[in-house]
Amino acid sequence: MLSFLYSTLLETPIMQKLRRLAKPVSHLVAFGLLALSLHLPAAHAGMVGTETVINAAQVQQDRERLHQVLNRDEVKSQLIARGVDPSQVQARIDSLTDQEVQSLSGKIDKLPAGGDALDLLVFIFIVLLITDILGFTNVFPFVKHPKR
């Protein structure tokens, strides 16, 4: 009985028209799915460690710091005096690897740039102040000397 109902339903003119329209649409959908699956590359995700992100940010800061140092007028004038084009230096800084940038930035931190003279002056001031307080010298007028 069920097969009879099914066969009579399929043979109606509306169903035949619907099947005729659905066939090209189903072929188009199948072709579209196949085309999308063939042309899209597979995405490969991976974990990015905190250390990698921090290291990349630090390298970027070091690179910007090197550019700032080389953009100073004194540095540019010294480069030009030695026959070096400052734009070439900037290009070479951009082409350095991350390890080279970190190494160069660390070396710049360790180079003396007039900061040692201030330390020396502070040390001499403290030594003279202590000797003045102890009464061995009479350098500073604001120190009260012990009575002898």
Helix (H, G, I), strand (E, B) or coil at 117: helix
- 127 backbone dihedrals φ, ψ, rounded to 5°: -65, -45
pLDDT-based confidence at 146, cuts 50/70/90?
Answer: low
Residue 50 has pLDDT above 70, yes or no: yes
pTM score, whole prediction: 0.45
Report DSSP state, residue 147: P
**Pick the residue with more confidence: 98 or 148?**
98
DSSP per position, 10-72: HTSHHHHHHHHHHHHHHHHHHHHHHHHHHHSPPP------HHHHHHHHHHHHHHHHHHHHHTS
Summarised one tens digit per residue, pLDDT across range 108-117 is 777 665 555 6
Question: CB under 8 Å to 30, separation ≥6 — which residues?
Answer: none
Helix (H, G, I), strand (E, B) or coil at 92: helix
* Per-residue confidence (pLDDT) for residue 51, from 0 to 100: 87
Mean pLDDT value across the chain: 77
What gap in Å lies between CA 30 and CA 51, rounded to an integer? 46
CA dihedral 91, 96, 100, 105 (to 10 degrees): 30
Residue 118 has pLDDT above 70, yes or no: no
Residue 24 has pLDDT above 80, yes or no: yes
pLDDT-based confidence at 40, cuts 50/70/90?
Answer: low
Domain boundaries, the chain: 51-111, 113-148
What gap in Å lies between CA 10 and CA 61, rounded to an integer? 73
pLDDT-based confidence at 120, cuts 50/70/90?
Answer: low
Which helix H or strand E contains 74, and what residues bound it? Answer: helix 73-81
